[in-house]
Structure formats: C-alpha cells, structure tokens
Amino acid sequence: MTAERRRALMPWGIFALVLVVLPHLPGFGSGYAVSLLSQMGIAVIFALSYNMLLGHTGLLSFGHAVYFGLGAFVAMHAVRWAAAGLWLPIPLVPLVGGLGGLFFAALLGWPSTRRAGTVFAMISLGIAEMVVALSYMIVSFFGGEEGINGDRTKAPSFLGFGFGPQIEVYYVIAAWCFASVAAMYAFTRTPVGRMCNAVRDNPERAEFVGYNPQVVRYVAFMAAGFFAGIAGGLNAINYEIVTAISVGAATSGAVLLMAFIGGVGHFVGPVLGAVAITYLQVSLSDFTHAWLLYFGLMFVLMVLFAPGGLAGLWFMHAPILRAGLGARLIGPYARAVGPALVLALGAIIAIEVNYRVSTRPDLGTAFEFAGIAFDASQPWVWLLAGSLAAAGFWGMRRGLGPAFERHASLMAEAKGGGAP
Amino acid sequence: MTAPAIRLSDLRKNFGATEIIRGVDLEIRQGERHAIIGPNGAGKSTLFNLVTGRLAPTEGRIEFEGQDITAWPPYRIARLGLARSFQVTNIFPRLSVFENLRCAVLWPLRQGYAFWRMVDTPADVRERTHEVLGKIGLAARAQVPAGLLSYAEQRALEIGIAIAGGARVILLDEPTAGMNRGEAERAVALIREVSAGRTLVMVEHDMSVVFDLADRITVLVYGQVIASGPPAEIRADRAVKEAYLGEAAA
C-alpha cells in the first residue's frame, strides 16, 4: 500500500521539482524564458479548467474566456484596491480572481447547463458575445478600449517580496499552478467528479441512479469557472493590464485549441497542449507573419489524424516503448515521416511565397528561409514548392499504411506478451 | 406498510392523437414479483417510462408507497428507492464496469454531489460495488470499459446498475431480451436472488421466465389491463388466451 502510494505521489514530486528548478536551468534564466514559463503556467491552469467541461463533462464551450477574463478584471480591481491601501498581498490576488470567475460561473451557469451538446455550445457562444459587448459599455468596470491597469508593486509586500521582478511573479504562478493542477486532479476523483464522466457518457442513465444531470454539469461549470478565474487573476498580475481581449472569442478559441491539441481524453493532455501552444504562439510569431495560418493547419491535421491529441499519441505508443519494442517502429515511421517533412517543406515555401506576393507586397519579393535566399517573383520557387509538396505527398501515402500496420502489430505484441 | 409499492389510478398517456396508455388502474403489492405481459405495442415500456418519470402522463395518478410521484423527474423518483433497467442497454460506455456500478451506489450511500472527499474513501461504496460486481459475475471484467463488453455482459451490467443501489422496488424492462437459453437461465437466477425481500416488476416476453418467476401477472393489451392475478388464473383466463397467449401459441 505504501509503495502504491509512493508511486501515486511520485509524479507530483517531479512536477513540483520541475516548477521550482526550471527557471534556474541553463537557457531558462533569461527574462524572455521566465516570462514564457510564466505564460505557460497560466495557460496550463486555464486549459485544464477548460477540460473540466469538455473532456470530463462533455460540454463544448465556445466562451470559457468569459470566466478567465472576468476573473482577471476582478483581480485587477483587487490589485488597485491593494495599491490604495487594502491589505491584499499579490499571492492572494489569484484567489480573488478565482472567486470572481466562480461568481460569474454561478450566475451564468444555471441557464447554460440545462442541456449538453449543441444547446450548451450555442448558449456559451451567446454569453461570450454578450460579455464582450458589455465590456465596451460598462467602462467603470472594464475600462473601455484601453482596459484597466494596476501596479502590482504598490500592493503590500509578502514575506519581504515586492513582486517587481518577473521571477518573483513566476513563483507565484508556479505555486498556484501546482495547487490548481492538484485540486483539479483531486476533483476528478470525488463523487461529483466521477458523476461528471457519467453525465458525459449518458445523462439519462445518471438520472435513473439519482443524479440531476443539470446539477452535475452546474457543479463542473462552477469549478471550471473558479480555476479559469485563478488563471485570469495570475494573468492580471503577470501583465498588470487587462483588456477586453481577455474575455473575447480569440481567447476562448485558444483555450479550446490547447485542450484539444493536448488531448481531452487524458488528464495531462491539456497540460501538454498549453505548454506546446504557448511556446508556438510566442516563438512562431517571431519566425513568420503567417503563424496563425500554420496554427489553423496544425489544428485541422490534429483533429483529422490524431483526435486523441498529444496525450493520445503518447498513450498509443507507451505500451510499445515499455515493452522495449520501440526500435522496430523507427524504420516504418521514418519512411512515412520523412516524406511528410518534405511535403511540409513544400507547403511552407508555398505559403511564405504566397504571403509575400498577396498579403504583404510592401515587404518585397526577396526573403530568406532556412538560410537560402528566395525571390517570390521567380517561377522556379513556385515550381520547387509544388514539386516538393507533390513528391512528399506521394511518399507519405505510400509510407503511412506500413507504419500503421507495424504500430498495430507491435501494440498487439506488447499487450499479448508479459503484460501483468 | 399497508400502502402498495406502486399504485396507478386511471393513468393515460397520449402521443399526439394516439392513445398509448388508455386508463390503467394497477396495484403492485409490496414484496411481490409482478410480471407485465402483453403483445408488442401494448404500452408495457411506456408504462415503465411513466412510473419512473421518463415520461409525464397525460392524465391520472402514480403513487409510490402511498406518495404521489406523478410527473416527478426521474432522479427524484430514483432517490425514493425505485430503480429500473432498460430494454435497450443503457449504460455508461466509456466508464469501466466497476465505475458503472459505483455510479449507481453513490446516491443511495449518501455521497450526493460531494467534491470535498475522494470517491474511494468511503468503505461502504467500495464494498457494495464489489459485492454487486461479484453477483452479476463480472468481477474479472471490472476494469474493462463497459462499451467493450459482449452483449450478454452488458445485459448483466444493466441489471447490476438497477440493483446496485439497494432500491426497495426494482423495475426490469425485458431483462432476458436477446439472451440465449443458458444466459437467460443465469439472468433469472440472478433476478430471483436479488429480488428476495424486495418488490420486483418486470416486462418480459419469455413466458417460461414469466410463469417461473412471477407471483402475479398483469396482461396489458392496447393500453388497457385486461387481466391481473396469479399465474394459474391468468393461464385460465379466456380473454387473455384470445388476446395474447392464443396468438403466441398459434
């Protein structure tokens, strides 16, 4: 029993250690890296809170940013009160944000959760549009177009920390990230958390074992709103400004993307998605102006070919790797992934060239990619892109079948032999 | 304890202009095994759906142990101690067999909407779940997602969910539908065992099961009760023979 317990607690120990040590590792100490890590920590909480709805309760929300954003606004006001003399140290501000998110989720959740499916999705969209519209009307709360800002260093200090430097804010985020992830995981193991899964699977049967599905959904909705509000509160102290963007459709879309690409079927999925998407959001936009296009493409490809997300891909391969059969995947996978990379290269050149010519002619036709100079006005560039894509596509089509077959046979072998 | 387990008074249900249940009066006594039989389309499943709150009656009154439950939502009726199974398997497909059964014991064991305690902490939840798991013979399949079970296993789980909560009154809608002879016999033995000391109402097409298990039988034809009584009486009833048994024998 104790060994079992130790095994269960081990991932949490590693998680805590990673959060503490990460900014001190070589390459992660720069201001850029610490602020990236801060954003990732916030995104992890937000994406997991979203998955309390989508993955665990089967509620597809198009407006989860409402609770993130409203939590952020409440927290920002709290920072301003703190600067004006209220005793509220910065590490407690996210809790205020969480309570803000909880309040609005409790208010808007009851009519939203009457039904799941399309009705819930449509209501979430309607509420999101309504809140965005209100954000431009109620200037005293939302601050109009500029949003509202606050100075976190003016709040009372906490254990001698003033929370000016980014690294101190990082540790506030890391602490809340750990606590929130642990609490959200624990929620899945409670009676109501298990009934969320039951209501997702079959709301009618849940009724006949004594549970009102609307109440179960409502509890999940409020919990999701609470943790989204914590993420919003952290966002407020991280940037010291909150604008209407934080309640908007783009933010709601981003969190859906994170949860889905990470994988909604596993608890850790949204964590992976949040880290990966935040990294891409920050870094891709440095490389290319067309980063949103790549984003959309990636989402479509994931939905079509890996609906289990990154976590799904991992759990598809973990038994094979554990059985020590991973080496036999390399050959067939390389013959599928190699051509896929060629296809991607062709597509990237085509997109970049196209982008130069059609969308930003002011930038000129000459540009550099992978250290090679291109001129978008030259036909050979287009020909090259087209033939790379075609050849890659052809090769990939040939390689995919054997790769899937090898995976299936190894999976059977891994499960058949020696599994306890 | 004098009140019947279930009493239906002049119960009617219309779907648009079509009358499905046309004035049913029926008493299910406490502790009896009661079978409802009748030809296809007689309204047997509709009757179950009315009693358990899946449908609201157009007219009439439904009482459970003397309490008026007409048009209550299913979860409130279930909480009183009335459980049911479904004719078309109705389980939680992505949850494991163990979790399916655990969901059914949570409310009766007062777990409610608790989010402040772990679901594996209360020993009674764990023990009751394991007990039912053993009874329905699926202990070896406990961790398998319910959607991946064979048809017969899903039918056993369907009955398991209905009995897990320890309800005083259990309604089984064609529990042996689609089973082969051996599976049906095992199901009947299980139903006999779990219904001891409780009230059982079941819809069943298999006459050998009905006459084997039931203390009393009600015959429903075209939305009306044409006979209700002990098996011997029903077997001898001329109207029943004409309307139903004769048809089945022909």
Q: What is the pLDDT of residue A129?
A: 92
User: What would the pLDDT profile of A231-288 be if each residue is shown by its tens digit?
Assistant: 999 999 999 889 888 898 989 999 999 999 999 989 999 999 999 999 988 888 777 7
Q: What is the pLDDT of residue B247?
A: 54
User: What would the pLDDT profile of B221-243 be if each residue is shown by its tens digit?
Assistant: 999 999 999 999 988 888 887 77
Closest approach of chain A CAs to the CA of B182, in angstroms?
28
Closest approach of chain A CAs to the CA of B198, in angstroms?
18
Mutation for testing the A interface, residue in B115, B132, B173 having most A CBs under 10 Å: B115
Residues 6+ apart with CB under 8 A from A199: A57, A58, A116, A206, A211, A213, A216, A217
Q: Do B75 and A198 lie within an 8 Å CB cutoff?
A: no
Residues of B with Cβ-Cβ distance to A216 under 8 angstroms: 113
What average pLDDT does the segment A369-380 reach? 74
Q: Do B120 and A189 lie within an 8 Å CB cutoff?
A: yes
With H, G, I as helix, E, B as strand and everything else as coil, classify residue A87: coil
B104, B113, B115 ranked by CB distance to A209: nearest: B104
Most confident of A184-198, A349-363, A386-400: A184-198
Question: Would you say A262 and A274 are in contact if contact means Cβ atoms under 8 Å apart?
Answer: yes
B74, B94, B117 ranked by CB distance to A208: nearest: B74
- CA-based nearest residue in chain B for residue A187: B115
Question: Would you say A109 and A222 are in contact if contact means Cβ atoms under 8 Å apart?
Answer: yes
The CATH number that domain A3-307 falls under is: 1.10.3470
Q: What is the pLDDT of residue B54?
A: 94
Q: What is the pLDDT of residue A375?
A: 74
User: What would the pLDDT profile of A300-349 be if each residue is shown by its tens digit?
Assistant: 888 888 888 899 888 888 888 888 888 888 888 888 888 889 898 888 88
- CA-based nearest residue in chain A for residue B97: A198
Mutation for testing the B interface, residue in A188, A189, A208, A218 having most B CBs under 10 Å: A208
Per-chain mean pLDDT for chain A = 88
Q: Do A207 and B73 lie within an 8 Å CB cutoff?
A: yes
Q: What is the pLDDT of residue B245?
A: 57
User: What would the pLDDT profile of A70-91 be if each residue is shown by its tens digit?
Assistant: 999 999 999 888 888 888 888 8
Most confident of A105-119, A163-177, A204-218, A290-304: A204-218
Q: What is the pLDDT of residue A54?
A: 95
* Pairing of β B216-221 and β B33-37: parallel
Residues of A with Cβ-Cβ distance to B112 under 8 angstroms: 191-192
- Would the pLDDT of A357 be above 80? no
Closest approach of chain A CAs to the CA of B240, in angstroms?
33
Residues of A with Cβ-Cβ distance to B117 under 8 angstroms: 190-191
The enclosing H or E element of B68 equals strand B67-68
Look up tokens 């509709």; give the residue: B46
Residues 6+ apart with CB under 8 A from B154: B89, B91, B146
Dihedral angle of Cα A7, A12, A18, A19, to the nearest 10 degrees:
-170
- CA-based nearest residue in chain B for residue A212: B75
C-alpha to C-alpha distance for A94 and A169, rounded to whole angstroms: 12
Question: Would you say A197 and B91 are in contact if contact means Cβ atoms under 8 Å apart?
Answer: no
Q: Residue B190's closest CA among B134, B229, B141? A: B134
A190, A198, A211 ranked by CB distance to B118: nearest: A190
Closest approach of chain B CAs to the CA of A35, in angstroms?
34
Question: Would you say A273 and A309 are in contact if contact means Cβ atoms under 8 Å apart?
Answer: yes
- pLDDT tens per residue across all 250 residues of chain B: 578 999 999 999 999 889 999 999 999 999 999 999 988 888 999 999 999 999 999 999 999 999 999 999 999 999 999 999 999 999 999 999 999 999 999 999 889 998 988 988 888 999 999 999 999 999 999 999 999 999 989 999 999 999 999 899 999 999 988 888 888 888 899 899 888 889 999 999 888 889 889 999 999 999 999 999 999 998 888 888 777 655 554 4
B103, B112, B117 ranked by CB distance to A209: nearest: B103
* DSSP label at residue A58: -
Q: Do A187 and B115 lie within an 8 Å CB cutoff?
A: yes
Tell whether B92 lies on the interface with A, counting CB pairs under 8 A. yes
B75, B102, B118 ranked by CB distance to A210: nearest: B75
Mutation for testing the A interface, residue in B69, B80, B117, B119 having most A CBs under 10 Å: B119
C-alpha to C-alpha distance for A229 and A225, rounded to whole angstroms: 6
CB pairs under 8 A between A and B: 99
* DSSP notation for B220-249: EETTEEEEEE-HHHHHH-HHHIIIIIHHHH
In chain A, domain spans:
3-307, 323-414
Residues of A with Cβ-Cβ distance to B53 under 8 angstroms: 207
* DSSP notation for B106-152: HTTTT-TT--SS-TTS-HHHHHHHHHHHHHTT-GGGTTSBGGGS-HH
Closest approach of chain B CAs to the CA of A4, in angstroms?
15
The torsion angles phi and psi of A391, rounded to 5 degrees, stand at -65, -45
With H, G, I as helix, E, B as strand and everything else as coil, classify residue B202: strand
Rg from Cα positions in chain A: 24
Residues of B with Cβ-Cβ distance to A202 under 8 angstroms: 90-93
The torsion angles phi and psi of B60, rounded to 5 degrees, stand at 100, -175
Q: What is the pLDDT of residue A370?
A: 67
Residues of B with Cβ-Cβ distance to A315 under 8 angstroms: none
Closest approach of chain B CAs to the CA of A245, in angstroms?
32
Q: Do B92 and A190 lie within an 8 Å CB cutoff?
A: no
At A297, the pLDDT band (50, 70, 90 cuts) reads confident
Q: Which of residues 94-133 of B touch A (CB under 8 A)?
A: 94-95, 99, 102-104, 106-108, 111-120
Question: Would you say A345 and A392 are in contact if contact means Cβ atoms under 8 Å apart?
Answer: yes
Q: What is the pLDDT of residue A322?
A: 85
- Would the pLDDT of A369 be above 90? no
Which strands make up the sheet holding B6-15, listed edge to edge?
B18-28, B6-15, B59-64, B67-68
**B47's tokens:** 């009757």
The enclosing H or E element of A179 equals helix A166-188
